[in-house]
Amino acid sequence: MTGNKLKAPIRTVLVEKAVRRSPLVQRLRKRLPHARFQEVETVPAASARVAGLLEVEHFKGRFWRNCPGTRVYDCCGYQIIHFGTQCTIDCTYCILQAYFNQPNLRLFGNTDDLLREVEERLDQDPDRLHRVGTGEFTDSLLLDPWTGLSQDLVPLFARRPNAVLELKTKTDHVDQLQDLPHGGHTLISWSLNAQEVTRREESRAASLRARLEAAQKCARWGYYLGFHFDPMIHYPGWRQGYRKTLDALMDAVDPSRVVWISLGAFRFMPELKPIIAHNHPRTRITTGEFIRGLDGKLRYFRDIRIQLYSMMVEALKGWDRNLCVYLCMEGPWIWRKVFGFEPADKGGLPKMLDDAVRTRMGVMP
C-alpha cells in the first residue's frame, strides 16, 4: 500500500456461512493472517460503519449491470460488474455516503457465480464490444491486494475478443497486477483531480504522485490506461490547479497508452447535501453555483461547466489530438460549446468510446 494513506488493515472479516469455502474467502484468510474471521448466517444490518470491518456476503442479485444513465445527459453505455459496495477512502463528495443501510465494506463472496454471469453475458452478445468496469459501487483496487479479484477478471477478459475491462481506482494498489495475463484487454484507470481538491476532498486517497507512479508501472506491464477527471471542482485557482495535474499527467504517461480521459463536473443528488454537511462539516464543496439539472441532480450552472471542460479539452488535445476525451453525463448543448460537436454527430458516445477501444487497444469483436 505504498504511498497510500489508507493504512488501516482489515481487522475483522464477517463471512456468511454460504460463502465460507469460496476462493475469495480462502484468499482473504491467507492474505489477512492477523484478521479475525467470524462466520454468520447473514451479515446483520448496520447503521454505522465499523472501522476495520469487512463483510463477505452471498450475493443473490445481478452482478452484471448497465451504468445508470439518463435521458437528457449523454451516457457512455458502460457496463458494470458489481462485486461489492462501499469504500473507506471517504471522499467528501462520494455518493456511497447516502447508502445508509450498508455502511461497511462489503464483498460478494460467491465469485464463482459472478464469473459465470460475466461469461454468460459476454457470450450472449458476441458481436457487441463490451466496455466493462468494476468501480461503480466501490473502488476497483482498494482491496484487490487481499481479494485477488483481478486475478480472476483480468485473464477472463484477456480471453474474450469482444470485451475490455476497466479497473478504476484512487489507490496505488497495482503490484498484484504485474504478472497477470491481460492480453491487452484491461485498462487501469485513475480518478485524478487538482492537488488542492485531492488534499481537501480525497484526503485518504493516494497522492497524485503515487497514482501517476502506479500508472507508469501499469503502462510498463503493458496495460492500457484511462483517466477520469471526475468530479471536477470549481474553486478559486481551479485553472492553475488542474493545469498542474495535467502537466504531471503529461510528464508521467505516454499518451499512446491512454485509451480515454473523461471529464465530469461535480454533480450530486440534493439528498446528498445534508449528508456531506454532516459527515464533512469543513468542506465547501457544495457551495458552488449549483442549479437543479434536468435529471434532478445539482450541477454547476452551464458557464462554469463549459469553462472547466474547455480548458481541459484544449490542453489534452494539445497533448494528443487523437486522444478520446469525453464528457460524462453531459448534455449536447455543453458538448457543442466545448468540442464544437455533439456525440450524435459521431454516432453517439458509446460508439466514440468503442472506436477508442478499437484504435488504441486493437480490440474488436
Binding region for another protein (CB under 8 A): 72, 278, 284, 286-289, 291-294, 299, 301-304, 306-307, 310, 331-333, 337
Q: Which residue lies nearer to another protein by CB, 331 or 343?
A: 331
Nearer CB in complex with another protein: 108/335:
335
Q: Which is nearer to another protein, 61 or 296 (CB)?
A: 296
% helix, strand, coil for the chain, step of 5: 40, 20, 40
Positive/negative CA dihedral, 77, 335, 228, 293: negative
The least CB distance from residue 294 to another protein, in Å, is 5
Q: In 3D, which of 228, 222, 278 has the Cα closest to residue 254?
A: 222
The answer to whether the bond into 44 is cis (omega within 30° of 0) is: no
Indicate the residue among 254 and 303 with the shorter CB distance to another protein: 303
CB of 292 to another protein, least distance (A): 7
The nearest distance, CB 66 to another protein, in angstroms, is 24
Measured CA to CA, the distance from residue 238 to residue 60 in angstroms comes to 44
In the complex, the smallest distance separating the C-beta of residue 321 from another protein, rounded to whole angstroms, is 23
Bridge partners of 227, per DSSP, are 190, 261
Residue 335, judged by CB atoms within 10 A of its CB (0-12, 13-18, 19+), counts as buried
Least distance to another protein, CB of residue 290, Å: 9
Comparing CB distances to another protein, the nearer of 120 and 303 is: 303
In whole angstroms, how far apart are CA 346 and each of 73, 83, 106, 332, 353? 16, 33, 40, 12, 11
